[in-house]
Copies of this chain bind each other. A is one copy, B any other.
Amino acid sequence: MADEKLVYFFGDGRAEGRADMKEKLGGKGANLAEMTNLGVPVPPGFTISTEVCDIYYKNNNQYPDSLKEEVEKNLKKLEDLMGKKLGDPKNPLLVSVRSGSAISMPGMMDTVLNLGTNDEAIKGLEEMSGNKRFAWDSYRRFIQMFGNVVMGVVHEEFEKILNSQKKKKGVELDTELTAEDMMEIVSACKKLYKEKTGENFPTDPRTQLWMSIDAVFGSWNNERAIKYREINEIKGLLGTAVNVQTMVFGNSGENSGTGVCFSRDPSTGERHFYGEYLMNAQGEDVVAGIRTPESLDDMKNEMPDKYDQLVRIKDKLENHYKDMQDMEFTIENGTLYMLQTRTGKRTAQSAVTIAVEMVKEGLIDKQTAVMRVSPAQLDQLLHPMIDPKAKVNVIARGLPASPGAAVGEIVFTAKQAEEEAARGKKVILVRIETSPEDIGGMNVAKGILTARGGMTSHAAVVARGMGKCCVAGCSDVSILNDSECEIGGIHFNAGDLITLNGTKGEVIKGQVILVEPEPTGDFAELMKWADNIRKLKIRTNADTPGDAENARKLGAEGIGLCRTEHMFFEGNRVDAVREMILSDDEVGRRKALKKLLPMQQGDFEGIFKAMDGLPVTIRLLDPPLHEFLPQKDDEIEVLAKNMGVHLEKLKKKVESLKEFNPMLGHRGCRLGITYPEIYEMQVEAIFLAACVVKKNGIVVEPEVMIPLIGTLKEFSLLKDLTVKTAERILKEKNEKVKYLVGTMIEIPRAALVADKIALIADFFSFGTNDLTQMTFGYSRDDAGVFLTEYIDKGILEKDPFQVLDREGVGELVEVGIERGRNTRKELKVGICGEHGGDPSSVEFCYEVGMNYVSCSPFRVPIARLAAAQAVVKGKK
């Protein structure tokens, strides 16, 4: 150990480290070394390796024997290179000390700047810079930082001194303080330091240096850092490195300055060198916004040689890192230094453009390009967004249930929504919760806001399906009546304007300007590359021909979930459904079902046409029957009148269908078992439709899916019913149609007995919404109340209804696939829960060997990209 190199020098165009030595040098140290080796001007310095940190903790807080000597050697080298000496009263070397581990880690020690100043050295700085105020200001800053960062003196205490000096001099800005003021402040700061630490401020620069180094290594195991590593499950790091680097000053005169720049435009992706700078200023000043920075384009005119040098460096760095760079630079007395370069953050639009253009420039390959765009970001390209420059007044927060933004007038009922929309008004539907009866109103609304319900509540699921903005479960909404509500304590009337940000779950007072993004040609190009890479098929959840067409445009390769019950609500079909429910016997039910049959058949014809040539998975009736009846007394009365049914009879029926826990009640295949005639009608409709469209030359591949299966026998009874009915229709119509009969795996037990179910199932589709509900015992409609707290307290990392829980639910999915394929090797397996559109979950689906994922139409592009990224990640 002791023989190993502990300190790595960088400067003068050569460095002992490299970018790939992050583990030893930390991210910052490795990057400084890399830039140095590239010939980029970087203030010289050295990095104490992370191994020192490791040895320090393993040896009872003792450094390796050779460390002192190595640091001295490197310091000497630095002094020689710079022609300055630490603490030299004539020509002092000032350095910064920074921590830096392989993974960026908030909670570790902050920077100490200007180390090396003391009462003697400051005179040298004063002389060298010819700027007394600058010198003493630098000294002041050092004492503050050292006192705070190394010794733990509260920052505000130092600020008080500064403020009282400003008050005393009757000035407002720090810049209005004179050199003499700074000298007074320095002396007060030293006094405070002594008071708080019991020791004099250390004047010896070597003492300053070692105390700072100790502090960095000490901070590796402070509570915040340990907690951060725990929460983020960061393991296997040796420790932190320490970077000691020569100070350069952008504020040392009129020939100095500082700036930030991006190698391409971070908001559009355009290949335009973009940035801002300020002369005679420090980094902080640019951030503080006291002076308005100038554009880099101005620098081109004012300092053409520095600008040219910067452009050359920019090109070099971008070519080297092969990605858009976000850089910081400082000019000290006419000399340009690069302080930092890192991969630049960017908008979705920009990410796409940069990735595509870089491929065209030959800088990166297509796989790399595909990895450069975050799938979650894609949402921005598919929905209207709030103008990033707009000032917004957020009055309440709910769940970000469906992305995008919407502005409109408040309405409180589906009826109001339809009426106002018919008058050309843009409306936002505000409800306690939505139900299938609200579909019409939801469809015409620009956005939906609910007081109750989770990420997979009715409102959320339907809104995502429609690609419509929705904020759900916003408990700050209270609806007073059909024309008034309070949101976040503010009173609103019907017709008042609000804005929703469904991407963030925000409710905003008044009207905010929205940006309508358009998927560009670059977007389409990138998606094509993704499609070529990915192995998973991407299907969509769509219940109408319109949805299906939309999804197909967005790249869907089939329907993975067509919910037949949504069709039951359209127009006045629900009347026939209700007639069926109220029938006393099978004969009556069959009579009512006969009315529904042609309507369902029509739906399926439309969907088959829209999906010509692609598979369509149709789920037979799933929700409990009471969802089709009104629950409130007045609504029941109206219905009884309309249907000509005795009120008491209707009430009794509603009462008898009530369930304590409908999610675990009489629904799904349980309906198919107790009322086989319902499933029979649905299967008839599917195959009658298939025969009709096939005659018109449409290629049709129905996949009949039985929901909520928990035992082999359930599935076997209902598969028999399906096959018998299908064969009967095909024989009657003298047609041949290839079809599959499969099941959802959404009940924990189904995953456990998957080997048996696979004996007769052609496919499995994991319904991970319900599977998550039952595996966790969380009702997705009710869990909102505690889920937020669960995530805040770190009990859950993510909402398991958004991101598939690999540990629990994921194990059941894996078990289900493994057992299913053990029985039937060629079993087709997919997912149709909300997770099908979540990037991390898509990755999981690929890893466990699914054939496809299915998601809402507007998440299809996200799933396509995520599926491609999963392949690339898998190769690495």
Contact = CB atoms under 8 A, between A and B. Distances in A.
A749 B773 contact: no
A777 B794 CA distance: 28
A782 B664 contact: yes
Contacts of A811: 752
Contacts of A673: 786, 789-790, 793, 795
Given A660-B781, A673-B793, 4 more contacts: A661-B781, A673-B789, A748-B777, A748-B812
B807 A713 contact: no
Interface string A738-756: 0000000011110011000
A665 B789 contact: no
A712 to B, nearest CB: 9
A775 B777 contact: no
B795 A717 contact: yes
A773 B75 CA distance: 70
A849 B111 CA distance: 59
A773 B660 CA distance: 13
Contacts of A216: none
Contact of A665 (B711, B749, B770, B782): B782
A748 B808 contact: yes
A661 B779 contact: yes
Contacts of A795: 673, 711, 713-714, 717
A752 B808 contact: yes
A524 interface: no
A578 to B, nearest CB: 19
A749 B786 CA distance: 18
Contacts of A660: 662-663, 779, 781-782
Given A674-B786, A795-B711, A664 B752 contact: no
Interface in A649-665: 652, 656, 659-665
A306 interface: no
A794 B714 CA distance: 9
Contact of A783 (B652, B665, B790, B794): B665
A778 B664 contact: yes
A666 B475 CA distance: 15
A62 B474 CA distance: 78
Contact of A779 (B664, B781, B782, B789): B664
Which has the most chain B C-beta neighbours within 10 Å: A673, A749, A779? Answer: A749
B752 A807 contact: yes
Interface in A666-680: 666, 670, 673-674
A344 B710 CA distance: 40
A776 interface: yes
A815 to B, nearest CB: 9
A776 B747 CA distance: 6
Contact of A752 (B770, B781, B782, B812): B812
Contact of A666 (B656, B662, B776, B782): B782
A386 interface: no
A673 B793 CA distance: 9
Interface in A781-799: 781-783, 785-786, 789-790, 793-796
Nearest to A811: B752
Given A752-B811, A795-B717, A782 B711 contact: no
Contact of A662 (B475, B661, B708, B749): B661
Contact of A670 (B670, B753, B786, B809): B786
A195 to B, nearest CB: 37
A513 interface: no
B749 A666 contact: no
Given A752-B811, A794-B713, A773 B664 contact: yes
A699 interface: no
A663 B664 contact: yes
Contacts of A713: 793-796
Interface in A75-100: none
Contacts of A661: 661-664, 779, 781-782
6 contacts: A666-B782, A717-B795, A748-B775, A749-B777, A752-B808, A774-B774
A770 B666 CA distance: 17
A811 B749 CA distance: 9
B777 A809 contact: no
Given A777-B708, A794-B713, A812-B748, A659 B786 contact: no
A453 to B, nearest CB: 9
Given A713-B795, A773-B664, A809 B779 contact: no
Nearest to A773: B664
Contacts of A807: 749, 752-753
Task: Report the 4 A-B pairs with minimum CB-CB distance, sorted nearest first.
Answer: A664-B779, A749-B808, A661-B779, A665-B782
A749 B789 contact: no
Interface string A787-828: 001100111100000000101110110000000000000000
A786 B711 CA distance: 14
Given A661-B779, A775-B774, A795-B711, A666 B808 contact: no
A713 B795 CA distance: 5
A749 B810 CA distance: 10
A749 B776 CA distance: 6
Nearest to A715: B795
Nearest to A805: B749
Interface string A714-749: 100100000000000000000000000000001111
A520 to B, nearest CB: 42
Nearest to A670: B786
A747 B753 CA distance: 18
Given A749-B808, A752-B808, A809-B749, A659 B779 contact: yes
B809 A776 contact: no
A801 to B, nearest CB: 12
Contacts of A785: 665-666, 674
A796 B714 CA distance: 9
Contacts of A812: 748, 752
A811 B815 CA distance: 12
A467 B296 CA distance: 86
